[in-house]
Structure 1
């Protein structure tokens, strides 16, 4: 075997050995890399320092104005505004025509005062009267001694009478005020010898047609020119 041939065979074997070695190294490196990536990866490093801001750019030139747009639709009507200040007083107008006369309100009048200048005997049950001092509305009849209500309302009635006793023993004088047959009050006076004056008043609410009168209880009721028996009544207000 010659030397050149031996040298060529040696070089070829060296090349094959190098190739096998490289192939083994590549497989071993790949396996090692897979193992390190799966189990042996190190701690991440610190973030880098932020970079500096860039230089601001130059402002561009103002563009040309655009075309005017179309007018939009009218919006909804707004709320009323606040009231304005009061204006100055205007000139006085012309005087108007005189109006028609109004209807006069009806005035309801009812009042009376009846007088009796004679004595009342015990036999007289209804006390009648001899004269009328006044009789507005003509609601009192002196011959029957009765007041008849014409206007419903509240009335005031008052009576006054004189008693006289010639004896020394004590006597009584009783007089009733009656409404429609029902005694409203009894005026009583006990007295000895001599004169005694008695006065009484009351307020009643009456309806149309109600009647009020005085009734004697078998006693002597005195009346004279200087001291008459009086019976008075008048409407306070109507209802």
Structure 2
């Protein structure tokens, strides 16, 4: 037979903590707080003036056969800093630094062209195009220049200099200062 219910006993000691539960979902964002106070005044900014030099020139007329000498492009598209001399066909460095130069040369029919970029009279890079039909050649170079260095394009030889251009400017030469030397 079942007996009577006994009196309630004393509370036992707490057991050990269980393992952590699963991470719950992220809650909704809270309300925007109050605007903070004004911060302290910062230091005066220093302005480092980067020298600027850039040019793009071209033939907007047909140059035809060109002598082996600096190419004097008659059309000045851009000459920021006036460092390209239209009379000599040469770029003269005024701000030492790293420069990028690029040229494109065009020819017509079966005429051949070989063009070079020269620095102070030394060949740096060239392009050669031969064959029938209209041709074009181009090249690009990055140069470290010091003040008064000269850079220009010219035909590489007397035999490969039958250039063609017109208002569409198939022959061009460009350069710009990438960054100045410290």
Residue 208 (structure 1) aligns with: 147
Report the CA distance shift for 1:105/1:145 in structure 2 as closer, same or farther (over 3 A).
same
Measure, in 2, the Cα distance between the counterparts of 1:174 and 1:103: 47
Runs of at least 4 residues off by over 6 Å: 92-96
Select the residue among 53, 56, 68 that pairs with 1:113. 56
User: Which structure has the greater CA radius of gyration?
Assistant: 1
| Contact 1:118/1:228, CA 8 A, preserved across alignment | no
1:76-128 Cα shifts (integer Å, max 9, x gaps): xxxxxxxxxxxxxxxx89977x99x7664322101111121122243532211
Residue 86 (structure 2) aligns with: 142
Unpaired runs of 5+ residues, structure 2, are 1-36
**TM-score normalized with structure 1 length:** 0.53
Residue 163 (structure 1) aligns with: 107
**TM-score normalized with structure 2 length:** 0.68
Measure, in 2, the Cα distance between the counterparts of 1:185 and 1:198: 12
Q: How well do the aligned residues superpose, as a CA RMSD in angstroms?
A: 2.4
Select the residue among 126, 129, 133 that pairs with 2:77. 133
Residue 121 (structure 2) aligns with: 181
Measure, in 2, the Cα distance between the counterparts of 1:117 and 1:93: 59
Q: Which structure exhibits the higher relative contact order, with contacts defined as CA atoms closer than 8 Å and separated by 6 or more residues?
A: 2
Unpaired runs of 5+ residues, structure 1, are 1-91
Larger helix proportion of the pair: 1
